[in-house]
Structure 1
């Protein structure tokens, strides 16, 4: 039986969605973030030394990192589903966006989260103006322009297709869901980018996505 070590409001929601799309049976071991730090509990270190989620256990195989888990599941159980045929232009786009999600998109969103929290973080009163100025300056001069660049780029990539590797859903779209949901939640993805908004509406309406939400529990980014 496949077991997913699942943290609320995290990347592991994508793994549940993929398992639902593939129609695979699985069990969930749940973990909750610390309400103050928003970090994963130390209990996850018993599963993987880094204490991060998701971690997938399939018999004697343990896989961490959502991208690696996605590739593992599609390779082992996909039977050709959720990825384009090898050697096609769509296959190259598939591989690109499968890795772009974490390699290029998520670092920008993490910086946005860090600097946004810096503005309200508890610091000595005399340091608050300096921390706020640094956080706002970093966002204005670097983080926000980079986010705009990436969101404009992604909007353009859906000009001719409904999904990132063609006209049908692939695992690359599942991998892309988390950064786009995060961008819609806290980084300016709004109605000014109708293709990306339509993409999110499209995936959120899928029965497998809804089933994964029901099993996974709290996932604020789907709101």
Structure 2
């Protein structure tokens, strides 16, 4: 039985959404952070050697890492849905945004967060200008992409969107980032918010929080 182990306020909301979009029969287990927004509880950390979200189990398999989990679920249960094939005109764009999300975008955002967690004023850090430049470039790329196509992967929703939306919503809320200057992002999130599967997923993943779509 496919089980999604969801840690509250974490990237594992992606996997809940993926399962809802694919209309899969899966088990959902939610774990509360220690102190609300604090660390994962010991029972969650024990699931996987890295001790971080997301994690799924499927029979004897225990698998971590958002991208790997998306590929596994789509490959095993997706029947070709949400993943354009190599002959599809959106194939390359889908691949780029799917991998760019955690490889560049989330890594850049986390770089700033790590400096702050270390008790350092990011504005006084030697890497502040580097992080600020990469962050600005990332948001400009996102805005430009969503002016070119309705979804990150192209014409229709793909796992590139499953990956990207967390950084534009829940993660953004925790950082206090405004999207007032990004009309294409606002349009996109408004569209995402109308998807029944996304609403179901967020109601399961974060029942005490309205999806952060503005």
Measure the CA separation in 1 of the matches of 2:135 and 2:92. Answer: 24
Measure the CA separation in 1 of the matches of 2:66 and 2:13. Answer: 10
Output one character per residue of 1:56-88: Cα deviation in whole Å (capped at 9) or x when no partner.
111222211111101111111111211223223
- Preserved CA contact (<8 Å) 2:6 2:54: yes
TM superposition outliers: structure 1 runs of 4+ over 4 Å? 218-221
Residue 151 (structure 1) aligned with residue 139 (structure 2): yes
Output one character per residue of 1:26-73: Cα deviation in whole Å (capped at 9) or x when no partner.
112221212287221221233212211211111222211111101111
* Cα displacement (A) at 1:212: 0.7
Output one character per residue of 1:79-135: Cα deviation in whole Å (capped at 9) or x when no partner.
1211223223411111111111110001111123234455xx5xxxxxxxxx44xx2
Q: Which residue of 2 aligns with 1:78?
A: 78
Question: What is the SS of the residue equivalent to 2:148?
Answer: coil
Residue 137 (structure 1) aligned with residue 124 (structure 2): yes
* Count of residue pairs the alignment pairs up: 210
- Preserved CA contact (<8 Å) 2:48 2:63: no
Output one character per residue of 1:7-34: Cα deviation in whole Å (capped at 9) or x when no partner.
0000110100000000001112221212
Structure 1 unmatched ranges of 5 or more: 122-130
- Preserved CA contact (<8 Å) 1:10 1:219: no
- Preserved CA contact (<8 Å) 1:43 1:51: no
Distance change in 2, residues 1:21/1:37 (3 Å): closer
- Higher Cα radius of gyration: 1
Q: Which residue of 2 aligns with 1:42?
A: 42
Q: Which residue of 2 aligns with 1:128?
A: none
Which region of structure 1 is more displaced relative to structure 2, 152-161 or 98-107? 152-161
Which region of structure 1 is more displaced relative to structure 2, 84-93 or 155-164? 84-93
| TM-score for the superposition, normalised by structure 2 | 0.88
| TM-score for the superposition, normalised by structure 1 | 0.85
